[in-house]
Amino acid sequence: MARAFLLIMDSFGIGGAPDAAIFGDEGSNTLGHIAQECASGGGDRAGLRKGPLSLPNLDRLGLGAAAELSDGARPAGLDYSGASENAWGVGREISNGKDTPSGHWEIAGLPVPFDWGYFPETEPCFPDELIAQIVEKAGLPGILGNKHASGTVIIEELGEEHIASGKPIFYTSADSVMQIAAHETHFGLERLYEICEIARELTFDMMIGRVIARPFIGESAKDFKRTGNRHDYAIEPTQDTVLDRLKAAGRQIIAVGKISDIFAAKGITKSIKASGNPALFDAMMEAETLAGDGDLVFVNFVDFDMLFGHRRDVPGYAEALEAFDAMLPRFINQMKDGDLAIITADHGCDPTWIGTDHTREQVPILAFGPGIGAKEIGLRPSFSDIGETIAAHLGIGPGKHGSNFL
């Protein structure tokens, strides 16, 4: 039985991108700096974790070695020195952006050579004509925000006014996104989705990668909390990916978490939603029981990026990494003969870096499963090599980009 599992640790970069300076990210290293902070006590927090970063399962799969290959130094605490039992290496992105769609599309065999549209770092940041069209088509009394902001911060700042006025909160970031936050009950979840659909239509020609619905609950700034009913309205991939090729061959592509949203459901046969890394891991285990010969399970673990990278929370990121590492044996022990799993990432989000945005970094590639022998795959020139390796493993023909590394 040949099955494939693609696990994306959202934002888990390992530094070393040769073009990082172009993005203002030269020297960024998500894993390296988290490990450094933990070793010096900067990763400690009461009630969370203490001491050096400990990722024994990922390290045995080659994480420390991949980090050293990528950035020239072994991260503190990742000191596994035993013989490798699987394939490991480093992925380098060639797409123009350091955003979520670009990283995922390239992983699936479709680099993004064009530039996304972005909103300027001004206040207001959205064009007056665009907002006027959205307000008119959606029948809104107006909007709040209209600036670059952290989602949790702007909800805390404007959430109470939003509830009182009925005006949704619009904001963006350095990514190609328009984000719209609204209260699930006072405003209405379906109403929020309707507005996002209108905004998606009106921003399509601007090449804005995603319009993101950001629902929240709570009654005051002190207890507002975003919910798991986020929905990303993404531009559909411009060409077929390995997902489309597998689907055309009659295979199941089971998307877990926000994967279906990232690909605008193109190439997806089944989607399983979950909120939070532990629930996403459980959903992946459920998907494993549904996957048959030739199928792909594709999962994104979003907490690393959403909860800790963007919020520049080193202890939280470290704790989430250690929790993920501790869950891995449950998955590994359930793998069957013929299975291939690849753990990788889509970009970086160094929690020690300036600002709150993604960082341009290389990513680990850890490939394992029964029958997958020890192999250093080196530095891969494109994330597309990941998708093409999966294609070869599942017995479909090669695509236009990338090559099989096994």
Contacts of 192 (CB under 8 A, 6+ apart): 168, 180, 182, 184, 213, 215
Which stretch of DSSP H or E encloses residue 255?
strand 253-256
For position 84, what pLDDT does the model report?
86
Which stretch of DSSP H or E encloses residue 169?
strand 169-172
For position 96, what pLDDT does the model report?
92
For position 25, what pLDDT does the model report?
97
Pairing of the two strands 270-272 and 3-9: unpaired
For position 356, what pLDDT does the model report?
87
Structure tokens that stand for 260 in this block = 């279906």
Q: How far is CA 113 from its chain centroid?
A: 19
- Cα separations in angstroms, 120 against 117, 127, 157, 352, 354: 10, 10, 21, 24, 18
Count of other CB atoms within 10 angstroms of residue 51: 12
Structure tokens that stand for 346 in this block = 């889509």
In this prediction, the residues of the chain whose per-residue pLDDT falls under 50 are: none
For position 399, what pLDDT does the model report?
93
263, HSE (Cβ side, Cα atoms, 13 Å): 30
Closest CA to 31 of 346, 322, 305, 350: 350
Identity of the amino acid at 108 = A
* DSSP assigned state of 186: I
Structure tokens that stand for 122 in this block = 């001004």
Q: Which residue has the tokens 């039985």?
A: 1
pLDDT in tens, 147-182: 999 898 999 999 999 999 999 999 998 889 999 999
Q: How far is CA 260 from its chain centroid?
A: 12
For position 274, what pLDDT does the model report?
94
* Contact status, residue 167 vs residue 199, Cβ threshold 8 Å: no
Pairing of the two strands 231-234 and 210-217: antiparallel
Question: Cis peptide before 168, with omega less than 30 degrees from 0?
Answer: no
Q: What percentage of the chain reaches a pLDDT higher than 70? A: 100
For position 1, what pLDDT does the model report?
66
For position 83, what pLDDT does the model report?
86
* Contact status, residue 5 vs residue 297, Cβ threshold 8 Å: yes
Q: Is the dihedral of CA 281, 284, 285, 286 positive or negative?
A: positive
Prediction pTM value: 0.92
Contacts of 158 (CB under 8 A, 6+ apart): 144, 145, 169
Q: Is the dihedral of CA 34, 36, 39, 45 positive or negative?
A: negative
Average pLDDT over the chain, rounded to whole? 96
Structure tokens that stand for 49 in this block = 């974790």
